[in-house]
Amino acid sequence: MLPAQASDRDAAPVGRMTVEGSDINCRGVVVARGPNLIVVLDTGETRIIIISATTRFHGFRASWAALQANDRVVIVGQANGDGTVAAREVQVIGVSR
């Protein structure tokens, strides 16, 4: 299950990353997307999030096709050696203004 709850939507900061065991959880705003990735602004840094066929989507826009720039997301995944994050789950929790 993803760490974001409905009550977190307004109170949560725009960007935040935590490491729990081998999982990486990051929260931020989608600033760009490519064929198999999104770029998320997370506490002043951009993070490249790799999307695969097994990545699950939840929430406001619950599919890869519906995901847009300015969507606020919570990502759960694994760190890659090159600094990117391989997303296992993406939860869209709203739209940044």
The CATH number that applies at residue 27 is 2.40.50.140
CA atoms within 13 A on the CB side of 24: 18
Q: Is residue 57, in this structure, part of any structural domain at all?
A: yes
Determine phi and psi for 11, rounding to 5 degrees: -85, -20
- More confident of the two residues 17 and 45: 45
Residue 32 and residue 38 in contact, taking contact as beta carbons nearer than 8 Å: yes
The residue to which tokens 């949560």 are assigned: 12
Q: Is residue 26, in this structure, part of any structural domain at all?
A: yes
Average of per-residue pLDDT across 9-35 = 70
| Number of domains composing the chain | 1
Alpha helices by DSSP H, listed for 3-90, are: 8-11
Q: Is residue 55, in this structure, part of any structural domain at all?
A: yes
What is the amino acid identity at position 90?
V
Residue 77 structural domain: 16-95
* Torsion sign across C-alpha atoms 84, 89, 93, 95: positive
Q: Is residue 64, in this structure, part of any structural domain at all?
A: yes
Q: Is residue 28, in this structure, part of any structural domain at all?
A: yes
- More confident of the two residues 62 and 15: 62
Predicted confidence at residue 42, as pLDDT, reads 82
Q: Is residue 11, in this structure, part of any structural domain at all?
A: no
Q: Is residue 8, in this structure, part of any structural domain at all?
A: no
- Position 21 confidence tier, pLDDT thresholds 50, 70, 90: low
Determine phi and psi for 37, rounding to 5 degrees: -155, 160
